[in-house]
Structure 1
Amino acid sequence: MHDTWETIDRLVEWLDEESGVSPEVARLLRVLKISEEAGEVAEAIQGVTGSNPRKGNSHTWEDVQAELCDVIFTSMVALRTITADADKVFTERLAHVAERSLAR
């Protein structure tokens, strides 16, 4: 997972360099981006199921997988933007959820 966070760090650095907004606005926009990506998951699921008659079966389960990964990456970028200790925060939160859910 360490290499993953190193890649996220590089993405955050790139975004910071390319962004023309203040750090405060960047923080907000990166959190809001999670909702956009989640919407793309929903769109892909609709495409898999053909639930939109205008578009029909426009996506595959592989598209859903890719969109879910985008939600994860985007969330990791947002978390790293909010805290330099994102990897620690994530690991501790995952342990908390696992303990709460799996300790039965």
Structure 2
Amino acid sequence: MTDQHPAAPLWPAVDDLWSRLESTRTHTGQEGLLLRILKLSEEVGEVAEAVIGATGQNPRKGVTHDWDDVQAELCDVAITALVALRTLTPEAREVFERHVERVRERATKPSE
């Protein structure tokens, strides 16, 4: 099965999403930044809801989601985090890549 749309490079896609959100946002300045960051909590809650739904842990509702839903919600968390980072700094790509490198270095160091 082939994709109908080729995958967009990550950072241009983040910049595009950020631009679209910026053009319609009603809260600016620090309030707008904080609201953009708080959006992460909402998205993480949707991951939890999908996991609970995929495992049928709510006896009243039963199975309401599947693991594809969980994957999609996790992607939404990642996208929301990257857009929030882009809202905080125009150098989001560089900040993120430096941080990933630090995390990789920590992960490869032997425990003390």
Give the C-alpha shift of residue 23 in structure 1. Answer: 2.8
Unaligned runs of 5+ in 1: none
Q: Which has the larger radius of gyration?
A: 2
RMSD, aligned CA:
1.2
| TM-score (norm. length: structure 1) | 0.94
SS of residue matched to 2:27: coil
| TM-score (norm. length: structure 2) | 0.87
Give the C-alpha shift of residue 89 in structure 1. Answer: 0.7
Give the C-alpha shift of residue 103 in structure 1. Answer: 2.9
1:71 aligns to 2:80 (yes or no): no
| Distance of 2:36 and 2:105 partners within structure 1 | 29
1:78-93 correspondence to structure 2 within 5 Å: 78-93=84-99
| Selected match of 1:102 from 99, 102, 108 | 108
Name the structure where helix makes up a greater proportion of residues: 1
Runs of 4+ in 1 over 4 A off after TM superposition: none
| Distance of 1:7 and 1:26 partners within structure 2 | 21
Name the count of aligned residue pairs.
Answer: 103
Q: What is the percentage of aligned positions where both structures have the same residue? A: 49
1:38 aligns to 2:44 (yes or no): yes
Aligned to 1:24: 30
| Distance of 2:31 and 2:9 partners within structure 1 | 27
Give the C-alpha shift of residue 3 in structure 1. Answer: 2.1
